[in-house]
Copies of this chain bind each other. A is one copy, B any other.
Amino acid sequence: MTPGPGIFRTELPEGFHAGGVNAGVRRYRPDIGLITSTSPCVAVGVFTQNTCAATPVQYCQNLLPANNIKAIFTNSGQANAATGEQGVIDNQTMVDAVATALDCQSEQVLIASTGVIGEPVAVDKITQSIPKLVGSVSTIAEKFATAILTTDLVPKTVMKKLPLKGGVVTITGICKGSGMIHPNMATMLGYILMDVQLTTSQAQKILSTSNEKSFNMISVDGETSTNDSAFLLANGASHVSIADEEDFALLQSAVDDVMVVLAKSIARDGEGATKLLEVNIKNSADLSLAKQVARSITVSPLIKSAVNGASPNWGRVISRLGQEAVEESILNSTLLYFQGCLVYAHGKPIFEDSDKLEKLMKQDTITITIDFQSGDASATAWGCDLSEKYVEINGDYLS
């Protein structure tokens, strides 16, 4: 698997093209992006459960699943959420402009938006730039991956080649997300592109399954966005189909890997983040409790501040377990590890080598492992530390 951020050139699957240009919404950086496919795609999505879902989310929810999608357009800077009737008109204007430029039907174009909630979309600037956008596409992901960023520091892409029985297929993942990250069904914006041949029901199963282990297990700040969307597009351009259950399992596992890499890249690039926080729950009798507890710890501002300060304040983790109503009998059998060091066992503190632990807390990934010793379910969630920079970014972020 080739991680894409930075100077890498991330290849798209066969038949896909992507680009991005500046439409003048932001000063310099590309702010509109486009993914196209030469052949129509099977397309599915998972979306925010925020009841105030943005206009583009509602639009895509109506359209998907589908088997004739040709493009996804994305604008960054304005979320087109809480924008009323005008937002619906603006959304359709952008979709229609893309369809015209690509010579396809409007119903073949998906759309996602990200940015400030409640601000009107700069629709004139955007539609004027769409011919230039169409001309910008190439077989690599980076221009698009940059155009969809908001407060993110780095573009987030990943590519994986997977040999199936009928031949090799390519999976490319692209995402963005830095603040307002606490997905519930999906995350900010994620795009999984594949050249394998799939049915819509296969595609939906793969996306929903991987999403539960990846985008739904990250949090930057406990805020579920109005615009969370993850798309899976499969255009069949490799002419490789799923031969059997083994092929399907291989593909599922590969998409799991791709989406976990993307999810972790969002957590690590969380607004103001200096460290990635990984929380593993092991041997729980209750999978849904395990997931809830893992996510709860990644959300806790006290724990996130301690991670920022490299403070091994494990008492705050025990308190959080209690806040999530983990039963006393389970707390009494719990083993708690920071960076692999046992700090709490059977209801009591363990003081081993605190100098060693203090050094380990300075690493750039902090791992908290909680072993409930009471079952066989496990869950992993990712987050980041809470830094002074987060406050600075979000005191200012309103154009």
A242 touches B (CB below 8 Å): no
Task: Tell me the number of copies of this protein.
Answer: 2
B-contacting 9-mer, from A37-45, A81-89, A91-99, A129-137: A81-89
B-contacting 9-mer, from A9-17, A18-26, A152-160, A307-315: A307-315
Bound: A319/B82 CA distance, A: 8
- Residues of chain B with a CB closer than 8 A to A139's CB: none
B397 touches A388 (CB 8 A): no
CB distance from A362 to the nearest CB of B (A): 12
Contact of A397 among B49, B52, B226, B313 (CB under 8 A): B313
B82 touches A395 (CB 8 A): no
A327 touches B (CB below 8 Å): yes
The list of the 10 closest CB pairs from A to B, nearest first, reads A309-B395, A117-B315, A52-B322, A305-B394, A84-B348, A118-B315, A388-B388, A50-B322, A224-B323, A51-B322
Q: Residue among A327, A344, A397 with the most chain B CB within 10 A?
A: A397
B398 touches A318 (CB 8 A): no
If A53-B322, A118-B344, A390-B391 are given as contacts, then 13 extra A-B residue pairs at C-beta distance below 8 Å, sorted by A number, are: A51-B326, A52-B326, A81-B315, A81-B318, A179-B302, A180-B319, A221-B302, A222-B222, A224-B319, A309-B392, A311-B395, A313-B398, A388-B392
A52 touches B331 (CB 8 A): yes
A6 touches B (CB below 8 Å): no
CB distance from A388 to the nearest CB of B (A): 4
A396 touches B (CB below 8 Å): yes
A112 touches B (CB below 8 Å): no
Contact of A52 among B116, B300, B310, B321 (CB under 8 A): B321
A349 touches B118 (CB 8 A): yes
Contact of A306 among B50, B81, B226, B394 (CB under 8 A): B394
Size class of the A contact interface (CB-based, 8 Å): 35 or more
A52 touches B319 (CB 8 A): yes
A223 touches B320 (CB 8 A): yes
A395 touches B118 (CB 8 A): no
- Residues of chain B with a CB closer than 8 A to A386's CB: 301, 391
Residue of B with least CB distance to A179: B302
- Residues of chain B with a CB closer than 8 A to A327's CB: 51
Contact of A349 among B84, B179, B331 (CB under 8 A): B84
- Residues of chain B with a CB closer than 8 A to A323's CB: 50, 184, 223-224
A347 touches B395 (CB 8 A): no
CB distance from A115 to the nearest CB of B (A): 10
Bound: A313/B346 CA distance, A: 46
A398 touches B319 (CB 8 A): no
A257 touches B (CB below 8 Å): no
Bound: A221/B225 CA distance, A: 20
Contact of A395 among B305, B346, B396 (CB under 8 A): B305
Known contacts: A322-B226, A387-B391, A394-B302. The answer to whether A117 contacts B311 by CB under 8 A is no
Known contacts: A118-B315, A349-B118. The answer to whether A395 contacts B225 by CB under 8 A is no
- Residues of chain B with a CB closer than 8 A to A320's CB: 223
- Residues of chain B with a CB closer than 8 A to A301's CB: 221-223, 301, 386, 390, 394
A325 touches B (CB below 8 Å): yes
- Residues of chain B with a CB closer than 8 A to A224's CB: 319, 322-323
B84 touches A180 (CB 8 A): no
Interface residues as binary, A360-397 with B (CB distance below 8 Å gives 1, 0 otherwise): 00000000000000000000000000111011111111
A119 touches B315 (CB 8 A): yes
A124 touches B (CB below 8 Å): no
26 A-B pairs with CB atoms under 8 Å apart are: A51-B322, A52-B319, A52-B331, A82-B318, A82-B344, A82-B348, A82-B349, A84-B348, A116-B313, A119-B315, A119-B349, A179-B302, A223-B300, A223-B301, A223-B323, A301-B301, A305-B393, A305-B395, A309-B395, A310-B395, A311-B396, A311-B397, A387-B391, A388-B388, A390-B391, A391-B391
